[in-house]
């Protein structure tokens, strides 16, 4: 059995022994009594690549020898978890160019495989979310949808409402990129349901605004007004002045479109009756769907 003094980096490493080096990373040592298994894993001065190489060696050895800690924990599973973290960290530090983005995706896919192999079901979902976002960033929306759906399934399994909301929001972005606004709206409405239940007001306002914009694009002005109005009320409660101004303008535009739609219908048949209806509406300013009918007293008699 190897002698072990191991751990990861950052705040996630609290359950094992580690020494912080002042650079945001931590020194990690894996020391084995067997000469063939000597491995020193130092994550210092941000040398994540070197750290990953050493931990990959540890992972292969732990899997081969089926090592366990004195407490009975599987070192293979532990190595999977720390490799997942390192692959994820490497992906985050990869530059944003196209070739680098694909390299980052490959690292995230490795992180996903480590989560699966190590039996970390929750982290499988989190890795799927990151992979989906990475694919969406390079406009491969169909592939992004595949991974966001997997994340949604995991979140529902664990009863993670916040994760369900994030998954629905991500799916909505991907469907919008594909031009499928109906599916995008459907997922955003799920997001609204979750955020409304959990009292996440700012996220709820953002979702309502996004639905309003999509409904506007589809010509569904009545629903656009409904969601923009809801967004406006939420921004008022949150005292978010910047968003409040934006939502006020969006709501006004949607109402204008909504009115125009009904006004156009009111004069498309009988011009005289339509104009009379518009004049009547001008005096009362009610909902145009009920106020502008084009009916006159003579017609109703």
Nearest to 136 by CA among 97, 176, 168, 100: 176
Q: Tell me the pLDDT tens digit for each residue of 232-263.
A: 999 999 888 888 888 889 888 888 877 776 66
Q: How many residues can be counted in the chain?
A: 301
The residue among 228 and 69 whose pLDDT is bigger is 228
Specify the residue for token string 């001065």.
45
The pLDDT of residue 4 is 40
3 state DSSP class of 68: strand
Nearest to 132 by CA among 159, 153, 118: 153
Please count the CA atoms within 13 angstroms of the CA of 249 that sit on its side-chain side: 5
CA gap 296, 274 in Å, rounded: 9
pLDDT averaged over every residue in the chain: 77
Answer whether residue 294 shows pLDDT above 50: no
CA-to-CA dists, residue 246 to 19, 74, 190, 231, angstroms? 48, 54, 23, 10
The pLDDT of residue 160 is 92
Q: Enter the tokens of residue 96.
A: 């944003």
101-109, Cβ contacts within 8 angstroms, sequence gap of 24 or more? 101/134, 101/137, 101/138, 102/138, 104/134, 105/131, 105/134, 105/135, 105/138, 108/134
pLDDT confidence of 113, banded at 50, 70, 90?
A: very high
3 state DSSP class of 299: helix
Q: Distance between the two ends of the chain, CA-based, in angstroms?
A: 98
Nearest to 234 by CA among 198, 190, 203, 213: 203
Q: Tell me the pLDDT tens digit for each residue of 120-145.
A: 999 999 999 999 999 999 999 999 99
- In sequence order, the β-bridge partners of residue 5 are 29
The whole-angstrom distance between residue 293's C-alpha and the CA centroid of its chain comes to 44
CA gap 13, 16 in Å, rounded: 6
Answer whether residue 24 shows pLDDT above 60: no
CA-to-CA dists, residue 153 to 81, 124, 147, 165, angstroms? 21, 11, 10, 12
- Packed helices 48-65 and 75-92: angle between N→C axes, nearest 10 degrees: 160
Answer whether residue 155 shows pLDDT above 90: yes
The pLDDT of residue 35 is 29
pTM (predicted TM-score): 0.71
Element (DSSP H or E) covering residue 86: helix 75-92
Q: Are 247 and 235 in contact (CB under 8 A)?
A: yes
pLDDT confidence of 279, banded at 50, 70, 90?
A: confident
Q: Enter the tokens of residue 231.
A: 């967004």
3 state DSSP class of 264: helix
Quick one: three-class SS letters along 135-196? HHHCCCHHHHHHHHHHHHHHHHHHCCHHHHHHHHHHHHHHHHHCCCHHHHHHHHHHHHHHHH
């Amino acid at each position: 059995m190897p002698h072990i003094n191991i751990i990861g980096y950052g705040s996630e490493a609290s359950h094992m022994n580690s020494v912080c080096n002042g650079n945001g990373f931590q020194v990690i040592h894996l020391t084995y009594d067997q000469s063939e298994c000597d491995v020193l894993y130092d994550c210092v001065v941000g040398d994540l690549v070197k750290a990953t190489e050493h931990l990959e060696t540890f992972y292969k050895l732990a899997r081969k020898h089926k090592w366990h800690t004195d407490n009975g924990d599987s070192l293979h599973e532990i190595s999977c978890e720390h490799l997942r973290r390192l692959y994820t960290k490497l992906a985050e530090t990869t530059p944003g160019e196209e070739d680098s983005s694909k390299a980052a995706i490959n690292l995230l896919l490795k992180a996903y495989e480590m989560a699966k192999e190590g039996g970390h079901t929750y982290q499988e979902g989190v890795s799927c979310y990151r992979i989906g976002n990475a694919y969406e960033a390079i406009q491969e929306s169909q592939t992004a949808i595949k991974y966001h759906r997997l994340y949604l399934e995991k979140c529902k399994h664990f009863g993670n409402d916040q994760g369900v909301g994030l998954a629905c929001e991500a799916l909505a972005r991907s469907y919008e990129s594909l031009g499928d606004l109906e599916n995008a709206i459907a997922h955003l409405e799920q997001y609204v349901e979750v955020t409304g239940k959990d009292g996440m007001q700012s996220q709820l306002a953002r979702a309502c605004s996004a639905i309003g914009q999509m409904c506007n694009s589809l010509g569904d002005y009545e629903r656009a007004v409904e969601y923009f109005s809801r967004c406006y009320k939420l921004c008022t409660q949150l005292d978010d002045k910047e968003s409040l101004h934006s939502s006020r303008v969006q709501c006004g535009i949607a109402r204008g479109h909504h009115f125009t739609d009904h006004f156009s219908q009111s004069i498309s048949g009988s011009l005289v009756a339509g104009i009379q209806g518009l004049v009547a509406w001008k005096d009362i300013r009610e909902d145009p769907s009920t106020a502008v009918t084009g009916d006159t007293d003579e017609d109703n008699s």
